[in-house]
Chains A and B, each alone.
Chain A
C-alpha cells in the first residue's frame, strides 16, 4: 500500500456537535494519527468555505484521501463527495465519520462524547488507505412507463406523462379504472360531484393514443433495474372479445344470473354474471364472472341468453388468460387502499345488526346512480330519523391500526352534510375523538356543518346495540358512548349507524411490493425512500409511489403526489442514460460454487444464475448495494465495492485502536 496523505475535517455543526464534542481536542488528536497529513476543524463544513477547505488541500497539500467527521452520510455524503470530485479527487476516496447522529446527539457526557468521536473517526482513518477509486456506472434508459393501479392517482400520473409524449401502460386489477373515487357522489370539502371531475379524466385516458390501458390485469413478475425493467402482466380472461364488444350492456340485461352482489355497490345492489361494473366504466366493456356464469362454472346454461343478446357476437367462452411482456424504464405504483374491515370491531355490530353500515356503503347509498338512486334510506326503505356516525373505526386504535386515516373526519362531515341536505329533519350525530380538519378550507367546512345543526359528541362509541331500555329505543339501534365534554354516558337512539372505517393497505400490498422489489412500512403501506425529502420514491431506483398506497390521504394530496411521481419518472425516462452508484457487489465466477443461496435472496432481483459458468452473477445496474448477498454467501464470494471485508475489518480495528 502506497503512503497515503489523509485530510481530516471535523465539523462543529454549530453547537450540534461542538456543544458536546471537544472538537479542538479531536482535531489535535487526529493530526497525530497514521497517514494523516492535515486535520482541520470548521464551524459548518457543508458551507462553501467549509467545502473549499477540502478542495484546497487536495490541490495544495496533495491529500490523497479525506474524511469528514460531521453528520450522517445520508445527509451530506453526496455534498462532500462532490467537493472532493471538484477538487480532483475520486469521490469514493472520501469517507464520512458520523459524529452527530451517532455521537453528539445521543451521548450525554461531553468527555464520553469526545472519546467516542475519536473512535468513530479512527475507524475511518484506518479504512481509508484501503478505499479504491470507483466510477459511477452508466446504463441506457427505456423511455416507456408502467403505471400500476387505475384510481385517481394512477389516472392522473398516466395523463401527466402522456402529455409529455411518453408512452404509458396502465395496469388495473378491476374491470374498470376509477378506483374508490368513482364510487363517491360528492367530494369534500367543495362538494364537487365526483363523477363530474373524474369521468372526463377516465374517458380521456381511455382514448389517449399514448396510453395502453390493460384493465382486468395484474403484474406477475418484474425483473431488471432502473431504466430497464421487464414486466410480465397477466390479462385475465374476460370471456368477451373486447375488440368487438361495444359496451352496450344488452348482455347483462339478458343474463339469467341476475342476483350477484355488486362489488362496486358494496354488495347493496346486484349485477349479472356478465356485467359492466358501472355506467361510466373505462374501458366500457363487459366481463363474465367465471364463478357465477353457469356456462363457465357448471358447464351448462340452457339459454346462453348473453350470446343471443350480443349483437356483435363478442362472447367467447374459450378465452384464456394471456401473459404479456413489457419493457419499461420506470414504474409508478398507485395501488391505493382498502377500507378497514369493520366486522373486526364486533361491539359495533357490523354484519350482525341491520342498518349498521360502512362509509363506503353510505357513499353508494347517497350516490344518485347507486342502489337506492340516491335516496338515503334504511333497510326497510324508510328514511332514518336519527343517524350516528362513528369516527376512527379501526383507526387510532392500539388494537387495530394505530395511525390516523386522515380522511374519515372529513368524509364523515361530508356525510352529515348530505344527510342534512336530503333529510333536513333528521338528527345527525358525529362521535369523534378529535376533529382533524387539516386541509385547505377543511376547518371552514367543519364550521359550516356545526351551523347546519349536526350534533358533535366528543367520545369513542362503546357499543352499538339493539337492546332497548326505553320506549324511544324500541325497535331501533342505540349507540352507547361517553360524552367526554359533558362527562356523562349517553345512549343515542339511531335508525342508521355509519362506521367511518379507516383506510388499510391493500390486502396484498406486501406481496405486490415484493414482486417489485421494494418494501412496506411497519403499518403496511408502501415505504417511501425518505419520509420528507423523497415521499414518492422507493428504495428501488426507477420505482415511484403515489396516492393511498403510500399512506391514507385525500384526493388533492393524491393528485399532487401523482404529479410528483410523474415528474420523478420524467426526470429519469427523459434521459438516454442513467448513472448508478458503483458501491455494488460483484461475484467472482472462479470462486462461486453455484450453491444458489444468494440467488433468491436479492431483494432487487439483481442476481441471476449463469448455467454456463455454473456461477451466480450480479447484474450491475440492478444491484443496490444492500449487502444481502455478501452476508448470505457462505464462501464470502460476493464482495461489495466500498464495503469490502478488508475495509470493514480495518474499520473495526480502527474503532478498537483508540
Chain B
C-alpha cells in the first residue's frame, strides 16, 4: 500500500509546535509507517518549488502552524491550501493568532522602530532598517513584506480543522493523527469540517484537580508575590487563571504545577471572544460594594490585553488596535 502524504509548515510562530509533534515519541514511527513526508522544512530539505510542482490535493494532511504575519506566510498558506486535502490550523498561532497576534496592538513600522532604533541595546545612529529588496553582485535579493496586521490561518484561507494549544499536547496530537489516519484508510470518519479537534468538551477547570469553591476576589496577585495554596483554585486566590474561559484538553498541566492557565487552548465551544468572556467572568466575581473599590481592584489586573488576549487578540472581536 502506498503511504499517505504528510506535510507540516511553520509560518509566524516560535517553532514549539514542530517540537510538540516529536513529543508523541515512539508514535512518530507509526506516522512514518503511514505517511511519506512531502514537505516539512523543519525536519527535511524540501523547497517551495517542490510544493509548487505538486498536483492540487496531492498532500493528504497538512499541519499548518503559525500565524500569517508576512507575504511569505500568506503565499505558503495559499499554496498549501491548494495542495492539501485536509488542512489543519495547528496550534494557537494558526488558530487564534497566538502570541504574535499581540503585535496587532502596534503597526509594523512601530515595531520596526522599536526593534531597530529604540531598544537600549541598539546602536543605530543612521537608522538603518532592513530593506525588502537589495541588490548584490549576484542579483537581487528580497525579503518577505511584513504586514501591519497578524491574521489567523482561517482569516487567510479556508481551513478544515482547528487544533489549538501552545503547543498542542502530545496525547491530543496522537489522538488526532489516529483519527485522521483511520479516516484516510477508510476505517473511520473525519470530524465535521470546521471542527475544533484535539480538545475536550468542557473548560480547563474540568481537568484541573484543584478544589473549587465560590469565588470572591478582593484583589489580583501575580504568582511570584506569594505562595499559593497547593490545593485551592488559583482564581480564588486572586491569580488570574484563564481556566474558566479556556477549552479543556491540555490536562490542566499548568495549574497542576501552580501556574495559572494562560488560555492557549482558546475559548470553549460556544464562547465567541475568550478575552471578553474572561473579563465578564472576573467582573462578576470582584467582591466590593462601591465603585471606587471596584476600580482599585480592577487596576490590579496586570497587563489586561496581554492577560485576556494573550493568544486570541487576532481572532477576537477586537482584532487589532487602530493604527
Closest to A629 in B: B284
Contacting residue for A596 out of B212, B248, B272, CB 8 A: B212
Interface of chain A residues 551 through 601 with chain B (CB within 8 A): 590-597, 599-601
Q: Are B212 and A595 in contact (CB under 8 A)?
A: yes
Known A596-B215, A601-B284; contact A636-B268, beta-carbon cutoff 8 A: yes
Q: Are B206 and A632 in contact (CB under 8 A)?
A: no
Residues in A neighbouring B213, C-beta threshold 8 A: 596
Contacting residue for B201 out of A591, A601, A634, CB 8 A: A591
Closest to B287 in A: A600
Known A600-B216, A634-B243, A634-B278; contact A593-B248, beta-carbon cutoff 8 A: yes
Residues in A neighbouring B253, C-beta threshold 8 A: none
Closest to A592 in B: B202
Residues in A neighbouring B272, C-beta threshold 8 A: 645, 649
Chain A 600-622, CB-CB to B under 8 Å as 1, else 0, gives: 11000000000000000000000
Contacting residue for B204 out of A593, A600, A632, CB 8 A: A593
B68 adjacent to chain A (CB < 8 Å): no
Interface of chain B residues 227 through 275 with chain A (CB within 8 A): 233, 235, 242-246, 248, 268-272
B106 adjacent to chain A (CB < 8 Å): no
A33 adjacent to chain B (CB < 8 Å): no
Chain B 202-222, CB-CB to A under 8 Å as 1, else 0, gives: 111110000011111000000
Residues in B neighbouring A595, C-beta threshold 8 A: 203, 205, 212, 233, 235, 243-244
Give the distance in Å from the alpha carbon of A596 to the alpha carbon of B214 in the complex: 5
Q: Are B214 and A635 in contact (CB under 8 A)?
A: no
B109 adjacent to chain A (CB < 8 Å): no
Contacting residue for B212 out of A591, A594, A634, CB 8 A: A594
Residues in A neighbouring B171, C-beta threshold 8 A: none
Give the distance in Å from the alpha carbon of A631 to the alpha carbon of B203 in the complex: 15
Give the distance in Å from the alpha carbon of A590 to the alpha carbon of B233 in the complex: 21
Q: Are B212 and A631 in contact (CB under 8 A)?
A: no
Closest CB in chain B relative to A107 CB, distance in Å:
28
B280 adjacent to chain A (CB < 8 Å): yes
Residues in A neighbouring B206, C-beta threshold 8 A: 593-594
Contacting residue for B281 out of A591, A593, A633, A649, CB 8 A: A633
Residues in B neighbouring A636, C-beta threshold 8 A: 268, 270-271, 277
Contacting residue for A634 out of B214, B216, B233, B245, CB 8 A: B245
Residues in B neighbouring A599, C-beta threshold 8 A: 214
Chain A 629-650, CB-CB to B under 8 Å as 1, else 0, gives: 0011111110000000100010
Q: Are A635 and B280 in contact (CB under 8 A)?
A: no
A628 adjacent to chain B (CB < 8 Å): yes
Q: Are B203 and A593 in contact (CB under 8 A)?
A: yes
B321 adjacent to chain A (CB < 8 Å): no
Residues in A neighbouring B280, C-beta threshold 8 A: 631-632
Give the distance in Å from the alpha carbon of A385 to the alpha carbon of B202 in the complex: 79
Residues in B neighbouring A592, C-beta threshold 8 A: 202
Give the distance in Å from the alpha carbon of A628 to the alpha carbon of B203 in the complex: 19
Known A591-B202, A595-B203, A645-B272; contact A631-B284, beta-carbon cutoff 8 A: yes
B182 adjacent to chain A (CB < 8 Å): no
Known A599-B214, A635-B245; contact A594-B281, beta-carbon cutoff 8 A: no
Give the distance in Å from the alpha carbon of A590 to the alpha carbon of B270 in the complex: 13
Closest CB in chain B relative to A613 CB, distance in Å:
12
Interface of chain A residues 533 through 561 with chain B (CB within 8 A): none
Residues in B neighbouring A637, C-beta threshold 8 A: 270
Residues in A neighbouring B233, C-beta threshold 8 A: 595-596
Give the distance in Å from the alpha carbon of A594 to the alpha carbon of B206 in the complex: 6
Closest CB in chain B relative to A41 CB, distance in Å:
36
B285 adjacent to chain A (CB < 8 Å): yes
Residues in B neighbouring A628, C-beta threshold 8 A: 284
Closest CB in chain B relative to A361 CB, distance in Å:
32
Q: Are A594 and B285 in contact (CB under 8 A)?
A: no
Closest CB in chain A relative to B189 CB, distance in Å:
21
Interface of chain A residues 58 through 97 with chain B (CB within 8 A): none
Give the distance in Å from the alpha carbon of A590 to the alpha carbon of B201 in the complex: 8
Q: Are B284 and A635 in contact (CB under 8 A)?
A: no
Residues in B neighbouring A590, C-beta threshold 8 A: 201-202
Residues in A neighbouring B270, C-beta threshold 8 A: 591, 635-637, 645
Closest to A591 in B: B202
Closest to A649 in B: B272
Interface of chain A residues 158 through 211 with chain B (CB within 8 A): none
Give the distance in Å from the alpha carbon of A591 to the alpha carbon of B271 in the complex: 12
Closest CB in chain A relative to B133 CB, distance in Å:
42
Give the distance in Å from the alpha carbon of A75 to the alpha carbon of B204 in the complex: 43
Give the distance in Å from the alpha carbon of A596 to the alpha carbon of B244 in the complex: 10
Residues in A neighbouring B268, C-beta threshold 8 A: 591, 634-636
Closest CB in chain A relative to B257 CB, distance in Å:
19
Known A590-B201, A593-B203, A645-B270; contact A600-B215, beta-carbon cutoff 8 A: yes
Give the distance in Å from the alpha carbon of A631 to the alpha carbon of B271 in the complex: 11
Give the distance in Å from the alpha carbon of A635 to the alpha carbon of B272 in the complex: 10
Most central of A590, A594, A599, A635 by chain B CB within 10 Å: A635
Give the distance in Å from the alpha carbon of A103 to the alpha carbon of B233 in the complex: 46
Give the distance in Å from the alpha carbon of A597 to the alpha carbon of B286 in the complex: 11
Chain B 280-308, CB-CB to A under 8 Å as 1, else 0, gives: 11011100000000000000000000000
Closest CB in chain B relative to A335 CB, distance in Å:
20
Q: Are A634 and B203 in contact (CB under 8 A)?
A: yes
Q: Are A597 and B285 in contact (CB under 8 A)?
A: yes
Since A596-B215, A634-B268 are in contact, a sample of 6 more A-B pairs with Cβ atoms closer than 8 Å, ordered by chain A residue number, is A590-B202, A591-B270, A597-B284, A631-B284, A635-B245, A645-B270
Please give the residue numbers on chain B whose beta carbons come within 8 Å of chain A beta carbons, in ascending order.
201-206, 212-216, 233, 235, 242-246, 248, 268-272, 277-278, 280-281, 283-285
A–B pairs, 23, beta carbons within 8 Å: A590-B201, A591-B270, A592-B202, A593-B204, A593-B248, A596-B213, A597-B215, A597-B235, A597-B244, A597-B281, A601-B285, A632-B284, A633-B281, A634-B243, A634-B244, A634-B271, A634-B278, A635-B244, A635-B268, A635-B270, A636-B268, A645-B270, A649-B272
**10 closest pairs, A vs B, by CB?**
A634-B244, A600-B214, A632-B284, A634-B245, A593-B206, A595-B205, A593-B205, A593-B202, A593-B203, A635-B203
